[in-house]
Amino acid sequence: MRGPLIAILLSLPTLASCSHSTPGSAESSHITHSSQKSTVPVMESITMSDQVVRSEEEWKQLLTPEQYRVLREKGTEAPYQNEFDEHFEAGTYSCAACGLELFDSETKFNSGCGWPAFYAAQAGDRVELTPDYSLGRTRTEVTCARCGSHLGHIFDDAPQTPTGQRYCINSVSLKFKPAEQNDEE
């Protein structure tokens, strides 16, 4: 009993500091910061105060039904029929749920698996890796470190890449920003 109580008490400062705005609005961020204006560089570490905390009802309002199925219910989109499998434009790929930049197009490669594949995350703390024992086998799930949304899985089956790894990511879990747009900001 003591362990769950401690976990609840430790989470209270984070939950209490969440900002709330109208669910479903484009401006609704629910990202907490220790100061009003963030001057944190993009590659800064993700901290507990940066976590996105939303109810499942809020996620349902903000995401399309397919995004909700994949990002929040750990679904998988159809292979070879998704937006970013054969997409190789220069830019960055962000979490479709919270906007955290996750992958750079320089690490994207054509693995032939039917989903977008990357050999590295933009920064190691941008994604979390968790054992996944579903489907009767052991895999490693990839989730967004800021909002906990399901992105896909990582496999050690890409010897042609510098890391030997293949982040197999659902297109619907990603938003793409072209490099020209990144340069303008």
Q: What residues are annotated to the active site?
A: 168
| Torsion sign over Cα 13, 131, 64, 116 | positive
Other beta carbons less than 10 A from residue 154's beta carbon: 23
Cα–Cα distance between 52 and 34 in angstroms, integer? 14
With vertex at residue 56, the alpha carbon angle to CA 137 and CA 46, rounded to the nearest 5 degrees, is 75
Q: Cβ(167)–Cβ(154) under 8 Å?
A: yes
